[in-house]
């Protein structure tokens, strides 16, 4: 096994000479760590030029940029390397204090995570360094702000490292940082930087990182307002669509779906009644993601029901209820019967990595005029907007893409569907779940609402901030997403 290779870059801009004592101290320290290393001290007329020259010459797996004056303990370099090497993050910014956030003005103008102007220490994975530093173009110390902006643009994760001590000189103040911040914004508007990987839903380049959650980054599309995970891990499609089937610790907060069987059955009945208004008796219906099989058990009485679920546990459980359920994903499912009259996806679409492929497949499985029933989160809904920041990690525990109402309409229409009906989705929740949720989210309101709950039926129908869409398959050809995509890879592949 090869050891960690580290490139330390000590950029010397302007009249600064090669800082011999610093280079010697770094070399002495790195020799004790067992890393293979190289130390570069590139010289250029400007700081930005020296930085870019150093990073382009660096060959290590981790690239660390160090202040020539070395105003912090040299072991901070090792800490920064360890953070990148462990895979916890792509980029490390050192700061003097643990609670450092930076100027509110700069954060509003650029990105939520800005570097500490008093500590010049940053570490990058080699791929992050090659993209982010190579794309930068400022020559002043403001290049540090530009790097933070580009890290967000290209979806790299940033973590902070507290080194305790910083330099006496600040590279940019709250006001001094304004000029570079405006220059960065203008360059971005002129498309001077390489474009970010495109949105998986609408193919727009106008995407940015909106949150960092454990192990991943959530990206947001400015055009279609959808949110999606930066990295889809392999085998994600094999996960059960229902969280209750996944083993998790008791300390985890209750998910929206951890409610009682009677609430689930009432929700399934409500969904079935929606289906009945659209489909004739004995129609052939496919449910994608069978959950606990409660919808299938109701649908089977009047329809020719087929279910698929990529999670073998869920499929087995539903089969045990006597349902015709296969362990398959939408792409691997082979329909041996005639085309379907209806296909249902209740909170399953969010778990699919490629919405265009999924809808093309659904269209293949449906008869012309067949009906698609879809319920999903709505990122334009009020409930979602109010709870987004708080629930970000929870929302993305199993979901890959969260859609906005407008993005879904556009997506369906481009994929050969015609929207028949669209509206808020309601589900049943039992009082026990609601009381638990209130106690953890709004403890002040809990006594009042608990008293009111006693007067209301159990389970109670509530809005979950999701929408339900009924769409009919058009007979004609759909817009060719593959042709658009073949120009350049999108996020999903
Ligand atoms: Zn988009």
pLDDT higher than 50, residue 245: no
Rg over alpha carbons for the chain, rounded to the nearest Å, is 27
pLDDT higher than 50, residue 258: yes
Q: Which two tokens stand for residue 308?
A: 């698929």
d(CA 133, CA 150): 8
Mean pLDDT across the chain: 86
Q: What separation in Å is there between the alpha carbon of 202 and the centre of ligand 1?
A: 4
Which range of 12-16, 232-236, 292-296 scores highest in mean pLDDT? It is 292-296
Q: What separation in Å is there between the alpha carbon of 152 and the centre of ligand 1?
A: 16
Q: What separation in Å is there between the alpha carbon of 353 and the centre of ligand 1?
A: 14
Task: Report pLDDT for 238.
Answer: 44
Q: What separation in Å is there between the alpha carbon of 242 and the centre of ligand 1?
A: 26
pLDDT higher than 50, residue 151: yes
Q: Which two tokens stand for residue 196?
A: 């970010």
Q: What separation in Å is there between the alpha carbon of 427 and the centre of ligand 1?
A: 28
Burial class (CB in 10 A: 0-12, 13-18, 19+), 419: middle
- Using the CB atoms, write b or e for 275-286: b if 16+ within 10 Å: beebbeeebbbb
Mean pLDDT score, 171-187: 86
Neighbours of 465 (CB within 10 A): 19
Residue 252 pLDDT grade (very low, low, confident, very high; cuts 50, 70, 90) = very low
d(CA 415, CA 153): 29
pLDDT higher than 70, residue 359: yes
DSSP 232: P
Share of the chain above pLDDT 90, in %: 55
Q: What separation in Å is there between the alpha carbon of 104 and the centre of ligand 1?
A: 28
DSSP 19: -
Share of the chain above pLDDT 70, in %: 89
273 or 398, higher pLDDT: 273
Are the C-beta atoms of residues 27 and 74 closer than 8 Å to each other? no
Residue 250 pLDDT grade (very low, low, confident, very high; cuts 50, 70, 90) = very low
pLDDT higher than 50, residue 438: yes
Q: What separation in Å is there between the alpha carbon of 127 and the centre of ligand 1?
A: 25
Q: What separation in Å is there between the alpha carbon of 425 and the centre of ligand 1?
A: 23
Q: What separation in Å is there between the alpha carbon of 346 and the centre of ligand 1?
A: 22
Q: What separation in Å is there between the alpha carbon of 367 and the centre of ligand 1?
A: 29
DSSP 222: T
d(CA 220, CA 210): 6
478 or 358, higher pLDDT: 358
Q: What separation in Å is there between the alpha carbon of 153 and the centre of ligand 1?
A: 14
Q: Which residues pair with 198 in a beta bridge?
A: 490
Task: Report pLDDT for 45.
Answer: 92
Task: Report pLDDT for 234.
Answer: 55
Q: What separation in Å is there between the alpha carbon of 184 and the centre of ligand 1?
A: 23
Q: What separation in Å is there between the alpha carbon of 416 and the centre of ligand 1?
A: 19
Q: Which two tokens stand for residue 441?
A: 């989210």
Q: What separation in Å is there between the alpha carbon of 19 and the centre of ligand 1?
A: 48
Task: Report pLDDT for 484.
Answer: 54
What stretches of 28-143 adopt beta strand conformation (E)? 36-40, 43-44, 62-66, 91-95, 121-125
Mean pLDDT score, 347-368: 92
Sketch the domain layout of the chain as residue ranges: 5-189, 236-485
Task: Report pLDDT for 469.
Answer: 94
Task: Report pLDDT for 481.
Answer: 56
Q: What separation in Å is there between the alpha carbon of 399 and the centre of ligand 1?
A: 16
Mean pLDDT score, 136-161: 94
Q: Which residues pair with 461 in a beta bridge?
A: 428
DSSP 124: E
58 or 243, higher pLDDT: 58
Contacts of 284 (CB under 8 A, 6+ apart): 303, 304, 306, 337, 338, 339, 340, 341, 342
Q: What separation in Å is there between the alpha carbon of 426 and the centre of ligand 1?
A: 26
Task: Write the DSSP string, 285-321.
Answer: EEEES-TTSHHHHHHTTTSEEEEE-SSHHHHHHHHHT
CATH topology of domain 5-189: Spore Coat Polysaccharide Biosynthesis Protein SpsA; Chain A (3.90.550)
d(CA 327, CA 319): 10
Q: What separation in Å is there between the alpha carbon of 379 and the centre of ligand 1?
A: 12
3 or 306, higher pLDDT: 306
d(CA 256, CA 241): 13
Q: What separation in Å is there between the alpha carbon of 191 and the centre of ligand 1?
A: 18
pLDDT higher than 60, residue 188: yes
Q: What separation in Å is there between the alpha carbon of 407 and the centre of ligand 1?
A: 7
Which of 91-95, 284-288, 332-336, 436-440 has the least mean pLDDT?
Answer: 436-440
Q: What separation in Å is there between the alpha carbon of 491 and the centre of ligand 1?
A: 11
Q: What separation in Å is there between the alpha carbon of 130 and the centre of ligand 1?
A: 26
Q: What separation in Å is there between the alpha carbon of 222 and the centre of ligand 1?
A: 7
Are the C-beta atoms of residues 320 and 308 closer than 8 Å to each other? no
Mean pLDDT score, 7-36: 90
d(CA 351, CA 233): 12
Q: What separation in Å is there between the alpha carbon of 49 and the centre of ligand 1?
A: 35
Q: What separation in Å is there between the alpha carbon of 212 and the centre of ligand 1?
A: 19
Task: Report pLDDT for 176.
Answer: 80
13 or 150, higher pLDDT: 150
Q: Which residues pair with 212 in a beta bridge?
A: 217
Q: What separation in Å is there between the alpha carbon of 56 and the centre of ligand 1?
A: 32
Mean pLDDT score, 417-440: 85
d(CA 54, CA 91): 17
255 or 472, higher pLDDT: 472
Q: What separation in Å is there between the alpha carbon of 200 and the centre of ligand 1?
A: 7
Q: In what order do the strands lie in the sheet with 158-162?
A: 36-40, 5-9, 62-66, 121-125, 91-95, 158-162
Neighbours of 99 (CB within 10 A): 7
d(CA 315, CA 273): 24
Q: What separation in Å is there between the alpha carbon of 460 and the centre of ligand 1?
A: 35
pLDDT higher than 90, residue 235: no
Are the C-beta atoms of residues 175 and 165 closer than 8 Å to each other? no
Q: What separation in Å is there between the alpha carbon of 30 and the centre of ligand 1?
A: 45
Mean pLDDT score, 471-487: 66
Which of 159-163, 166-170, 375-379, 460-464 has the least mean pLDDT?
Answer: 166-170
User: What are the backbone angles phi and psi of residue 434, rounded to the nearest 5°?
Assistant: -65, -40
Pairing of strands 91-95, 304-308: unpaired
Q: What separation in Å is there between the alpha carbon of 288 and the centre of ligand 1?
A: 24
Q: What separation in Å is there between the alpha carbon of 401 and the centre of ligand 1?
A: 10
Residue 177 pLDDT grade (very low, low, confident, very high; cuts 50, 70, 90) = confident
Per residue in 395-410, pLDDT tens? 888 889 999 999 999 9
Pairing of strands 284-288, 227-229: unpaired
CATH topology of domain 236-485: Rossmann fold (3.40.50)
């Amino acid at each position: 096994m090869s050891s960690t290779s580290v490139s330390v870059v000590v950029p010397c801009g302007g009249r600064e000479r090669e800082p011999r004592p610093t280079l010697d101290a770094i070399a002495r320290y790195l020799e004790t760590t067992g890393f293979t290393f190289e130390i570069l001290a590139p010289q250029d007329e400007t700081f930005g030029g020296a930085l870019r020259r150093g990073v382009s010459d660096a060959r290590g797996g981790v690239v660390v940029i160090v202040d020539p004056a070395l105003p912090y303990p040299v072991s901070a370099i090792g800490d920064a390397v360890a953070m990148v090497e462990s895979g916890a993050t792509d980029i490390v910014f050192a700061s003097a204090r643990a609670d450092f956030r930076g100027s509110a003005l700069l954060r509003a103008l650029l990105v939520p995570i800005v570097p500490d102007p008093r500590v010049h220490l940053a570490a990058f994975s080699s791929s992050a360094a090659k993209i982010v530093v190579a794309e930068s173009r400022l020559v002043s110390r403001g290049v540090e702000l530009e790097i933070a902006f580009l890290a967000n643009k290209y979806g790299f994760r940033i973590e902070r490292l507290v080194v305790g001590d910083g330099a006496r000189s600040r590279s940019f103040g709250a006001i001094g940082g304004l000029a570079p911040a405006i220059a960065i914004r203008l360059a971005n508007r002129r498309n001077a930087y390489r474009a970010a990987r495109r949105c998986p839903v609408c193919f727009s380049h106008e995407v940015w990182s909106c949150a960092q959650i454990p192990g991943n980054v959530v990206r947001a599309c400015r055009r279609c307002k959808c949110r999606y995970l930066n990295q889809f891990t392999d085998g994600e499609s094999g996960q059960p669509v229902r969280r209750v089937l996944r083993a998790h610790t008791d300390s985890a907060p209750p998910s929206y779906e951890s409610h009682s069987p009677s609430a689930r059955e009432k929700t399934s009945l409500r969904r079935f009644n929606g289906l009945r208004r659209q489909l004739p008796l004995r129609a052939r219906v496919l449910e994608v993601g069978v959950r606990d099989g409660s919808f299938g058990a109701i649908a089977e009485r009047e329809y020719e029901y087929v279910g698929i679920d990529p999670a073998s546990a869920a499929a087995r459980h539903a089969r045990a209820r006597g349902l015709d359920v296969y362990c398959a994903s939408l792409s691997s499912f082979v329909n041996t019967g005639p085309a379907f009259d209806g296909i249902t996806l209740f909170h399953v679409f969010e778990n699919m990595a490629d919405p265009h492929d999924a809808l093309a497949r659904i269209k293949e499985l449906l008869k012309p005029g067949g009906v698609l029933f879809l319920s999903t989160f709505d990122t334009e809904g009020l409930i979602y907007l109010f709870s987004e920041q708080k629930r970000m990690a929870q929302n993305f525990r199993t979901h890959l893409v969260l859609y906005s109402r407008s993005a879904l309409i556009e997506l369906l229409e481009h994929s050969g569907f015609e929207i028949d009906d669209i509206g808020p989705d309601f589900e049943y929740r039992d009082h026990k779940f609601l009381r638990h949720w209130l106690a953890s989210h709004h403890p002040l309101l809990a006594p009042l609402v608990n008293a009111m709950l006693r007067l209301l039926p159990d389970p109670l129908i509530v809005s979950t901030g999701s929408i339900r869409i009924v769409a009919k398959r058009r007979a004609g050809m759909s817009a060719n997403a593959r042709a658009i995509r073949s120009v350049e890879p999108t996020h999903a592949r």
